[in-house]
Structure 1
Amino acid sequence: MFLKKLLLIVAVLCLVALSVFWYGHHRASAVKHATEPADVPVKVARAQRGDLDVSLKVIGSAEAYSTVTIQSRVDGQLVALSFKPGGRVKQGETIIRIDPSLLQSQLDEALGNLAKDQAQLVNAQTLLKRYTPLLAKGYVAQSDVDTYKANEGLYAASVKADTAAVELARTQLGYAQIHAPVDSIAGAPLVYPGAQVSANSTNLVVLNQVHPIYITFSIPESELAGLKASHARGALPVTAMVPGSKSAMQATLDFINNAVDASTGTIQLKAVYGNTDDQLTPGQFVQVSLPTARLSNVVTVPVVALQNSPDGSFVFVVSADGKVQQRMVTVGVGSGDRVVISKGLNGGEQVVTDGQMLLESGTHVRITSDNGS
């Protein structure tokens, strides 16, 4: 009986000891896990090796492809404006009418003079034809025949002059209707019906051609050599964007001025944009970006991956074991949202682009996004 009680007591003590050991082990494990930091969520991108077009960003403005100030080519009274101010006009469309009454009268007068001189020329030719044979028979004097010849030449010359006068009067009459020289947008009228206009003097309206349209901007002369090298490789694309807009416009460099402005140290350039969507209006400011040089076989990372310290710039590189290491880098030129790393990366590394504030060398991370760029 005593032996049974002893065995029972030993069994109870063993159970208590096992319980204490299990509790202590699990508590120590829980404390250990509680003190271990959680993985930090980060976003990453890859360092890329390849060619990079270095871009220059400047401010430019839209400029009409051509601007025409319409004037009358004849004197007269303005009788009608056949365009809507601010509206579109087509090439060849009649947009202004001048009173044609006086011009029509001048044409009619020229036609009358022509008809008269033509009749006199016919009469002179008839007389010369009639009296020339009589000269050999002695029926008319040589002086008379010479007079008939002179009259024929005189009237022939008059007919030519009259014909020219008719053509001039007809042309002048045509100028009573003014046609748009190009597809364009009309500005506000500078004179109104009833006003007297003078030939080649009175401005009537300004037309702006905006299909296509120019984007005008200037770059520092230090960028000119790289720009010319890029332009020599072919058509140079120019990207323009209206401030506040997310829509980029693709234009093409069309003009490089032939001299640098000595007062500003810049040179003017123009890019041509189709503007079929009427996104640009002359005088509007735009942000312009154009490639000025091409760098070969360079390593680039997103600008947001760069961090700064008193010792210089660095990035966090994610290693194969999921931990990050701080890597000091030497930063080169930038283009768009990427920057050249001239020293510190070989290309292909995963660099942290978001979440750096919680990191230090050796921190274990959890990648939540990898855009591969």
Structure 2
Amino acid sequence: MTSGQTTRHSAPFRLLGAAALVSAVLAGCSGSNAPAGPPPGAMGPMPVTVLEVQPQTIPSSIEVMAQTEGARETEVRARVGGIIVKRLYQEGATVKAGQPLFQIDRATYEIALAEATAKAEQSSREMNRLKGLIAAKAISQKEYDDAVSTDALAQAALRQAQLNLSWTTVTAPVAGTTGRALKSEGNLITVGSDSLLTSISQLNPIWVRFSLSESEIAKLPGGRLTPSSISGVELILPDGSVYPQKGKLNFLASTIDTTLGTQQLRAEFPNTDSRLLPGQFVRARLLAGDREGVFLVPQSAVIQTEQARLVMVATAENKVAPRPVQAGEWRGRDWVILGGLKAGDKVIVDNLMKLRPDMPVAPHAPGQQPGAPAAAAKPAEAPAGDAAKPAAAAAEAAAPGKPAEKPAAAPENSDKAEKAAKPAAADGKA
């Protein structure tokens, strides 16, 4: 192997050895000068947000799922059969009682009425003729009685024919909002199960139907549900808003449904603007007086386990303490806490997954900065521009192992200062 080849092959090894030496020197310097890190477990208390609870008086209420229905939901049916020739209303429109809705073909019923009229007139003439003969004893009493009965039957048939003809015009039995027409023009209607044409719902007032389980009834004051114990009913709409007008109970079942174990109820609400429609799913809130001495805690602060519900509180020593509570119903975004808390308790509302019993915490009120008092002053900002130069010069002078820069000397004294510095440097070398 030539010397040139030896030089080319040994150059990479020399570079690797130099890099390793520099890395070792830097590691030694950083290990000797770097400040020691904090020991394990010395990170300080966990900052948490606490809510200092106080007893409150709130309305006692129960919320359950409910469904709206018309105060009157009437089926419109045809009383006579025939072909529908015309629909006389607009689907979904509001109609008055007695307003025509459908027209059935009248021809056959007009013919039947004419026939019944002729028979009624004939029987009436026959009865009047025999009336004079019975007075003269020219006929038997039976003949006259048969004529009277025949005339009565004919008059009844006439009345029925008149009714059948009038029923060919199907009218609204009640006032309200009409539904979809189930039969259209040209359909044949038969009396019976096929006679349903449409329906009418009365929307003002509107009814809301719901039920309560036995466990929900037990939460009411006294554990019983009576009309006098309910002061009113509120309605929570699907968008979460509360219906502006309160309702009242108009039906309370006297028995418990043995299949579901629930008691049926119904409330009535004004609905002048038709905002509520039949079939809507809403939530009904029963108001049953006031409940005193309860606490409102955010739902996120309540931990639900298989045994009980818990909240985490910050003690006077700023340590975590689990507290079993007795929770009632939801009110908005809060739990109603019936027992387990006292006035002034600081309930922790965040960082719950990181907390452990007796763990030190740094509590702060909602809206404050964690770990610092609310009135703490902000650190001074670094000076900018020329004003920062003295501070930078002082920091460089205080840094170990780095000489400070020489101040600029006046032009006339620069030579004298240079000559005076040379002997001093010589003495230092000696």
Considering the TM-score relative to the shorter chain, is it more than 0.5?
A: yes
Question: Counterparts of 1:316 and 1:179 in 2: how far apart (Å)?
Answer: 74
**Which stretch shows the higher mean deviation, 246-255 or 116-125?**
246-255
Coordinate RMSD, CA, aligned = 4.2
Q: Where does residue 366 of structure 2 map in the other structure?
A: 356
Contact 1:92–1:182 (CA<8 Å) still a contact in 2? yes
Distance 2:311 2:230 in 1: 39
1:3-42, Cα deviation, whole Å (9 max, x unpaired): xxxxxxxxxxxxxxxxxxxxxxxxxxxxxxxxxxxxxxx9
Higher alpha-carbon deviation: 258-267 or 274-283: 258-267
User: For the residues of structure 1 that align with 2:67 and 2:299, how far apart are their CA atoms?
Assistant: 33
Pick the aligned partner of 1:278 from 257, 274, 291: 274
Match of 1:336 in 2: 331
CA gap 1:121/1:311 in 2 versus in 1, 3 angstroms: closer
Structure 2 equivalent of residue 256 of structure 1: 252
Aligned equivalent of 1:197: 189
Letter in 2 for 1:276: T
- The one-letter code matched in structure 2 to 1:81 is R
Which of 64, 72, 86 matches 1:66? 72
Q: Is the 8 A contact 1:66 1:209 kept in 2?
A: yes
Q: CA deviation at 1:96?
A: 1.4
Counterparts of 1:155-194 in structure 2 under 5 Å? Answer: 155-194=147-186
1:179 and 1:251 mapped to 2: Cα distance? 32
Shift in Å at residue 329 of structure 1? Answer: 7.7
Q: Within the alignment, does 1:241 sit opposite 2:247 as a pair?
A: no
What is aligned with 1:80?
86
Partner residue, 1:30: none
Match of 1:33?
Answer: none
C-alpha displacement at 1:188, in angstroms? 1.8
Matched residue of 1:299: which SS? Answer: strand
1:193 and 1:358 map into 2 onto residues whose CA distance is: 72
Worse-superposed segment, 299-308 or 185-194: 299-308
Q: CA deviation at 1:99?
A: 1.7
C-alpha deviation, 1:195, in angstroms: 1.9
- Helix, strand or coil for the counterpart of 2:153? helix
Name the SS of the counterpart of 1:289 in structure 2: strand
Contact 1:70–1:206 (Cα < 8 Å) also in 2: yes
Cα deviation per residue 1:217-276 (whole Å; 9 max; x = unaligned)? 233221235557453425542211222253425222233345544554444332222222
- What residue in structure 1 maps to residue 293 of structure 2? 299
Deviations 1:74-121 (A, max 9, x none): 122212211111222222211112122222222222221121111112
Aligned letter for 1:271? A
Partners of 2:312 and 2:347 within 8 A in 1: no
Contact 2:230 2:287 in 1 (8 A): no
Report the identity percentage. Answer: 21
- The question of 1:219 aligning with 2:212 is answered yes
Q: Is the 8 A contact 2:50 2:314 kept in 1?
A: no
Match status 1:111 vs 2:117: yes
Distance in 2, matches of 1:198 and 1:335, equals: 54
Deviates more, 1:203-212 or 1:286-295: 286-295
Query: Alignment length, in residue pairs?
Result: 301
Of 121, 126, 134, which residue of structure 1 is paired with 2:127?
121
Code of the aligned partner of 2:112: Q
Q: Is the 8 A contact 1:216 1:270 kept in 2?
A: yes
Residue 356 of structure 1 aligns to a residue whose secondary structure is coil
Distance 1:58 1:316 in 2: 37
Structure 1 residue 342: deviation in Å? 4.0
Structure 1 residues 198 and 340, CA gap change in structure 2 (3 angstroms): same
8 A Cα contact 1:313 1:331, kept in partner? no
Within 5 A, what are the aligned runs for 1:136-147? 145=138, 147=139
Q: Deviations over 1:309-335 (max 9, x none)?
A: 999444899xxxxxx9x9998754356
Rg comparison, structure with higher value: 2
Distance in 2 (alpha carbons) for counterparts of 1:229 and 1:294: 15
Residue 288 of structure 1 aligns with which residue?
A: 284
- TM-score (norm: length of structure 1): 0.65
Displacement after TM superposition at 1:287 (Å): 2.4
How far apart in 1 are the matches of 2:229 and 2:114?
Answer: 59
Which AA in structure 2 matches 1:159? Answer: D
Please, which runs of 5 or more residues in structure 2 have no aligned partner?
Answer: 1-48, 304-308, 350-363, 377-430
| Partner-residue secondary structure (3-state), 1:110 | helix
Q: Is the 8 A contact 2:205 2:272 kept in 1?
A: yes
Tell me: CA distance 1:291–1:102, structure 2 relative to 1, closer, same or farther (3 Å): same
CA distance 1:305–1:179, change in 2 (3 Å): closer
Which range is displaced more, 222-231 or 60-69?
Answer: 222-231
- 1:124–1:170 CA distance, 2 compared to 1 (3 A): same
> Could you tell me the TM-score, scaled by structure 2's length?
0.58
Superimposed CA distance per residue, residues 143-181 of structure 1 (whole angstroms, 9 cap, x where no aligned partner): xx3x34333222111121112112211222221122212
Structure 1 residue 285 displacement after superposition: 1.6
Aligned to 1:32: none
How has the CA–CA distance of structure 1 residues 65 and 173 changed in structure 2, closer, same or farther, with 3 Å as cutoff?
same
